[in-house]
Amino acid sequence: MSARRQEGNASELRSGQFNLMVLKIHRYAADHIQAEMADQVESAPQLLRGAAVALDLGALERLPSIESLSDLLARLRYVGLIPVGLIGQGLEWIELARGCRIPLLAPERRRGRAEETPVAPPAAEEPAAPTPPPAAEAEAPAVAAPGGLSSPLVIAGPVRSGQQIYARGRDLIIHGTVSAGAEVAADGCVHVYGRLSGKALAGAGGDLRARVYCLEFAAELVSIAGNFRVFESAPRDIVGKTVEMFLDEGRLQIRALR
């Protein structure tokens, strides 16, 4: 083991983030889809030949069978596209994706809605986030966890001045301090296990129920679903305290937890 340690591992798993083309299917007609895609690839081969696409079947009234979807995937490969995933969530989709040997990708959707509708209807019609957060240095899309929940984005160290972290479609957990001049944002809740001296934005996608927690409060700004408060000089009674921040009838409230 020690010999292997010294040389370093030959491989490692990391999360990455890539733009992916989405092929949205309005009508499940394999022949037509194949012809249309063949034309598209023909007209822009540089861009599309060998391009990875995710398949969005959310507009269909009912799911295709494993056989027919496998056929469609083969046709797409034939015209030069590389299907890399199926967008959807829920049991039926898991079975369908497994049957076709293709990964299942969680639809991009706002937190909160997902809890009300566990089996995924069309995802693409979701309205865009009303207040898009600032361009993020570290942005990670939601990853589907078992049971339809999105797993939180966990940052294992401090977030320093000038850094921006955005957890799209999920909670954000920081193990460490958030320095003055740093920004942490999430569509869900923000948890800071350390001093929060920078800016924290929860419910960046508009979720009014999102909350911010921190071990030591010293924030410059806190925002929940766009309702923000600037702390030019933080109130004496909460500075350094472990607090919870939430919206109560549109007003940002701060409450010491102990």
| Helix segments in 80-215, DSSP class H | 91-99, 113-116
Q: Which is nearer to other proteins, 159 or 190 (CB)?
A: 159
Structure tokens at 64: 């295709």
Which of residues 3, 8, 116, 248 is near other proteins by CB under 8 A?
8
Per DSSP, the residues of 119-143 read: S----TTSPPPSSPPPPPSEEE---
Using rule CB under 8 A, residue 31 touches other proteins: no
CB distance 200 to 184 below 8 Å? yes
Pairing of strands 82-87, 52-56: parallel
Of 151, 149, 153, 152, the closest CA to residue 115 belongs to: 149
Letters for 10-29 (x = contact with other proteins by CB under 8 A, - = none) are --x-x---------------
Rounded to whole angstroms, the Cα distance separating 139 from 135 reads 8
136 binds other proteins (CB under 8 A): no
Query: Using CA atoms, how far apart are residues 187 and 207, in angstroms rounded to an integer?
Result: 7
Mark residues 194-213: x for contact with other proteins by CB under 8 A, - for none. Answer: x--x----------------
Which range binds other proteins by CB under 8 A, 57-65, 80-88, 108-116, 174-182? Answer: 174-182
176 binds other proteins (CB under 8 A): yes
Binding status of residue 174 toward other proteins by CB under 8 A: no
H-helix or E-strand spanning residue 118? none
Residue 153 binds other proteins (CB under 8 A): no
- A 10 A CB-CB count for 252 gives 16
Which of residues 160 and 209 has its CB atom nearest to other proteins in the complex? 160
- Beta carbon of residue 39, minimum distance to other proteins (angstroms, whole number): 39
Cβ contact 213:192 at 8 Å:
yes
User: Per CB under 8 A, which region of 70-78, 153-161, 219-227, 245-253 contacts other proteins?
Assistant: 153-161
Count residues contacting other proteins (CB under 8 A)? 20
Query: Closest separation between CB of residue 191 and other proteins, Å?
Result: 17
The single residue among 74, 92, 137, 256 that binds other proteins, judged by CB under 8 A, is 137
Cα distance between residue 253 and residue 208, in whole Å: 12
Question: Which residues would be at the binding site for other proteins (CB under 8 A)?
Answer: 8, 12, 14, 137-138, 157-163, 176-177, 179-182, 194, 197
